Amino acid sequence: MYLPPSLLYIGGRAEGSRSETGEKMKKAFSEIKLYYRKTDSGAEYLMDTFIKCNDGHKIGIFEGAQYVVRIDGNIEKDATLSIVNYSKR
pLDDT at 42 over 80: yes
Q: DSSP code of 88?
A: G
Domain ranges of the chain: 5-88
Contacts of 56 (CB under 8 A, 6+ apart): none
| Predicted local distance difference test score (pLDDT) of residue 9 | 41
Higher pLDDT, 75 or 89: 75
**Between residues 4 and 26, the one the model is more confident about:** 26
Summarize pLDDT for 10-36 with one digit per residue, the tens: 444 444 555 565 666 666 666 788 999
- pLDDT grade for 6, boundaries at 50, 70 and 90: very low
The residue among 38, 59, 39 whose CA lies nearest residue 49 is: 59
